[in-house]
Chain A
Amino acid sequence: MAVPQFRTSINEYLEGLPETVLMRLYSSPATCLAIFRLQPSMAQLVVMSMLFNEKALPVARLNAWVQDSSRLKQYEATAKLQSMHIIREAGGLIALQKTFRTSLRNAITGGDSNNSFGIPCDTEDKHKVDIKFLDEHANSQWELILHYMVGTGTGKVPNNGVLQLLKRSGLMEGHPPAPMRITNAGFQFLLQDVKAQIWTLLLQYLNMSEDLQMDAVEVLHFLFMLGSLELGQDYSLAALSPTQKIMLDDLRDYGLVYQRKSSSKRFYPTRLATTLTSDAAVLLSASASLDSAITKTDSEAGFVILETNFKVYAFTESPLQIAVLNLFVHLRSRFSNMVTGQITRESVRKALANGITADQIVTYLTVHAHPQMRKSVPLLPPTVVDQIKLWQLEMERMKTVEGYLFSDFKNGSEYDVLANYARELGVMVWENRSKGLFFVTKEGNQQIVDYYRRKIQGIK
């Protein structure tokens, strides 16, 4: 559900890069493979058909392969590939970009010579860790960030780099050391699945790295390399550039990689990293265990029951889910496998005051509704949904605009001249000609006054 979202976002980022940067990216086989895996299947088909074919492909032949009903998909795929400079269309022929072709061939045939897939350590690690440990490590690091965002109060605070990233990405606001608060965007972030969350943060990291004069190409190479590493294998730092070693420190904080010590000469990718560029199907099977461990949900099985009397029963043990619920539910009692609570005016107002919208609450409850709830149509009790929305309206009972009220006009024409000018400027808030009153915004006032002096007094 959230997978297409992250896909488009990283794809959009790539599409936005200039051609020269993309060409440098395509020099790495691992990166090409990762980008290839991120494409929609139609685009993959187009690339594959040309990969081992030196000649350019006539557009007519491609058209013949695709059924008319899927024509739209075909155009989307070719447009995407073109904007990423992977293919070039000229004179009815489609050609695959040479660097991309060479690198992807290398990736597939194993002819890679520049270690873009990472170098496994050839010496035995005295402190070898197993996959279970890596999963737990990734889990605890990632949960630490999420817990911090919802303010569960575990007492632990993520490293400064993580805090900076959260703040920069607009997920939280406030000035450390003062406690930061979750924003509207942050709440939406929590509603996404883990992978979308990681990509959201990594894209922000990419933006931030550009400001820090880090080379975006190296950052992307490293991220895409991580996606093709093998879980449970230790990799040597020797192949990494200085920029990538700096990145390693940051990624350790997110739980994407594990290093026993920061001076250690080897690192282990965790499941969060190795599934970065994998397909949705792989996400469900391979990392489902981790997913459920972190969020205790998947899209099929929800856990929240909402009754018409505003009572909420949530079958979850995850402190994180409970903390998320606590953002807008007045929680009452906790049992070994469930919590109960009630949606009240106060609890919703608290959430609204934190910048969470009524729609977000309703979406959350819909997405996480217990299978039992799915039998009823509509899914959520309309009374509760309406009331939550009414509570939001209640917060916005008064719409206020700062500005100036104009009155005491000499005659109708003076009113018309000034009112017309205010309308042209787009600063008019309210007007009533018969009463001879209008209200303009604070910004518009000075312009109206100047205009009055110029036009009306000037004429006299």
Chain B
Amino acid sequence: MPRAVKGVFVECDPSIKSLILNIDSKSHNVIVADLDDEHLVIDERQVENVKRQLDAQLAENTFNPAELDNNPEK
């Protein structure tokens, strides 16, 4: 008899997927099933958490010119 597991299907770039895998490697409670390079199923309770962590990680890699306001050019 087939099995049905509840979850949230995620479609994303391979780069984002590896970030999600990275988040999962810390707690092992995020990913329900790893489907292929661009698709996976995650726990619905973790969706917001994953989105937040992704945003934080992506923000780290961005240059924010607004910060220059505090160090005005000569």
**Chain A residues proximal to chain B, CB less than 8 Å:** 310, 330, 332, 342, 344-347, 394, 397-410, 414-415, 418, 429-430, 432, 435, 437, 439, 445, 448-449, 452
Are the C-beta atoms of A405 and B2 separated by less than 8 Å? Answer: no
Query: Which of A310, A437, A445 contacts B33 (CB under 8 A)?
Result: A437
Are the C-beta atoms of A452 and B12 separated by less than 8 Å? Answer: no
**Residue among B9, B33, B41 with the most chain A CB within 10 A?**
B9
Are the C-beta atoms of A405 and B39 separated by less than 8 Å? Answer: no
Are the C-beta atoms of B51 and A404 separated by less than 8 Å? Answer: no
Please name 11 pairs of A and B residues whose Cβ atoms are closer than 8 Å in the assembled complex, sorted by A: A332-B69, A345-B64, A347-B66, A397-B16, A398-B50, A398-B54, A405-B9, A406-B4, A407-B5, A408-B1, A430-B35
Query: Which of A398, A400, A403, A409 contacts B2 (CB under 8 A)?
Result: A409
Q: Contact flags (1/0) for B1-17 with A, using CB distance below 8 Å?
A: 11111111111110010
Are the C-beta atoms of B66 and A410 separated by less than 8 Å? Answer: no
In residues 42-74 of chain B, which contact A (Cβ within 8 Å)?
44, 47, 50-51, 54, 58, 62, 64-66, 69
Residue of A nearest to B16 (CB): A397
Are the C-beta atoms of B36 and A432 separated by less than 8 Å? Answer: yes
Are the C-beta atoms of B66 and A330 separated by less than 8 Å? Answer: yes
What's the minimum C-beta distance from B62 to chain A, rounded to whole angstroms? 5
Q: Shortest 9 CB-CB distances between A and B: which pairs?
A: A399-B11, A401-B9, A408-B3, A404-B4, A405-B5, A398-B12, A439-B9, A409-B2, A405-B41
Question: Cβ of B21 < 8 Å from any Cβ of A?
Answer: no
Q: Give the total number of A-B pairs whose CB atoms are below 8 A apart.
A: 89
Residues of B within 8 A of A342 (CB): 65-66
What's the minimum C-beta distance from A289 to chain B, rounded to whole angstroms? 38
Q: Whole-angstrom distance between the alpha carbons of A14 and B1 in the complex? A: 60
Query: Which of B2, B3, B51, B62 contacts A345 (CB under 8 A)?
Result: B62
Query: Which of A398, A404, A415 contacts B5 (CB under 8 A)?
Result: A404
Are the C-beta atoms of A410 and B3 separated by less than 8 Å? Answer: no
Residue of B nearest to A404 (CB): B4
The answer to whether A404 and B66 touch (CB under 8 A), given A394-B58, A397-B54, A437-B35, is no
Residues of A within 8 A of B64 (CB): 344-346
